[in-house]
Amino acid sequence: MTAALYTARANLSPLVLTGIMPGGLLTTTNVVENFPGFPEGIDGYELMTRLQKQAERFGARVKFATVESVDLSGETLRLTADGGPVETRCLIVASGAGHRHLGLESERLLEKKGVTYCATCDGALPVFRNQPLVVVGGGDSACEEALYLTRFASEVHLVHRRDTLRASKIMAERVLGQPKVRPVWDSVVTEILDVGQDRVTGVRLRNVKTGEERLLECAGVFVAIGHVPNTQLFRGLLDMDEAGYLELKQGAQTNIPGVFAAGDCADRVYRQAITAAGAGCAAAIEAERYLASR
């Protein structure tokens, strides 16, 4: 939407193809407290609706359609969206990234009711303050989430399926040296409780070595087992790393002239609304320069 705003203001008449989630991931969150300019916080859906209106005010066209295939071989880039052709001279990919899920039914039912995928986004919410929390994962992200949560939680249980962390040595030392962090080794979450109460009260754990099951009380579960960038469409066409994040040069350029990218689909580090917006601005400016140079 930021890319659309900038390209619209540059009189480029951008077309936004929204996919199945118009407004993107932020529309799934109630309150965004860290987007600059909203001291009281703002509902994620409202923020994205406002941003869309802002882009439309300058001529952006927004269409509810999903891109199913792309042909980036010629000067005219050809997309198929909801079965119909779309031709463009310039494409900005901003398809986002999804969180990898545990795959539990209880996880799905309690999402946003104590199950979350972003400590930076949700950790400071009142419901998690001075409460025991669970972080699932053993990589750098999980360690970062756990460390961040120690500011608010009474204790943070770091549940990992192995007996050592996969995170970098320095991060592992830091997290294990923090007194509020309690590692739970060799364990997987098999159920999040309590769907009946419609809120998180604990998790059921299974020790993968002994098979022993136990319950652990907590007010929140932060799942940090990785992300899946929505870039499958571009596999084999655009340069990407092994996880699927698009690899860019000079800020926003892909390996194909006229194709730019912005936001979570090309960001394995920050994945925040403000960084996605900033990258959208950069991609739009690059796109504008590219078109001017032709």
Ligand X SMILES: Cc1cc2nc3c(=O)[nH]c(=O)nc-3n(C[C@H](O)[C@H](O)[C@H](O)COP(=O)(O)OP(=O)(O)OC[C@H]3O[C@@H](n4cnc5c(N)ncnc54)[C@H](O)[C@@H]3O)c2cc1C
Q: Which is nearer to ligand X, 161 or 260 (CB)?
A: 260
Q: Which stretch binds ligand X (CB under 6 A): 84-92, 126-134, 143-151, 268-276?
A: 268-276
Window 211-230: contact mask with ligand X (x via CB under 6 A): -------------------x
Q: Which stretch binds ligand X (CB under 6 A): 70-78, 149-157, 271-279, 282-290?
A: 271-279
Q: Is 263 in the site for ligand X (CB under 6 A)?
A: yes
Q: Residue 79 forms beta bridges with which residues?
A: 70, 86
Please indicate whether residue 194 is annotated as part of the active site.
no
Q: Is 271 in the site for ligand X (CB under 6 A)?
A: yes
Please indicate whether residue 90 is annotated as part of the active site.
no
Q: Is 95 in the site for ligand X (CB under 6 A)?
A: yes
CA torsion, points 286, 258, 99, 180, in degrees to nearest 10?
-30
Q: Is 268 in the site for ligand X (CB under 6 A)?
A: no
Whether the bond between 194 and the residue before it is cis, its omega within 30 degrees of 0, is yes
- Compute the least distance from the CB of residue 122 to ligand X, in Å: 6
DSSP E strands: which ranges in the chain? 15-17, 61-63, 67-71, 77-81, 84-88, 91-93, 97-99, 115-116, 132-136, 155-159, 181-184, 187-193, 202-207, 213-217, 220-223, 227-229, 259-261
Q: Which stretch binds ligand X (CB under 6 A): 115-123, 140-148, 150-158, 163-171?
A: 115-123
Selected catalytic residue, list 90, 118, 143, 218: 118
Q: Is 94 in the site for ligand X (CB under 6 A)?
A: yes
Please indicate whether residue 218 is annotated as part of the active site.
no
- Compute the least distance from the CB of residue 16 to ligand X, in Å: 9
Residue 38's nearest CA partner among 46, 280, 263, 152 is 46
Q: Which of 20, 69, 250, 292 binds ligand X (CB under 6 A)?
A: 20
Q: Are 215 and 259 in contact (CB under 8 A)?
A: no
Render 245-271 in DSSP notation, one character per residue: PBP-BTTTB-SSTTEEE-GGGG-SS--
How many helices and strands (H and E) does the chain possess?
Answer: 7, 17
- Using the 8-state DSSP alphabet, how is residue 92 labeled? E
Q: Which stretch binds ligand X (CB under 6 A): 4-12, 16-24, 185-193, 218-226?
A: 16-24
- Give kind and range of the element (H or E) at residue 170: helix 169-176
Q: Which parts of this chain interact with ligand X (CB under 6 A)? A: 17-22, 24-26, 28-29, 32, 34-35, 66-67, 94-96, 117-118, 121, 230, 233, 263-264, 271-274, 276
User: Catalytic residue positions?
Assistant: 118, 121-122
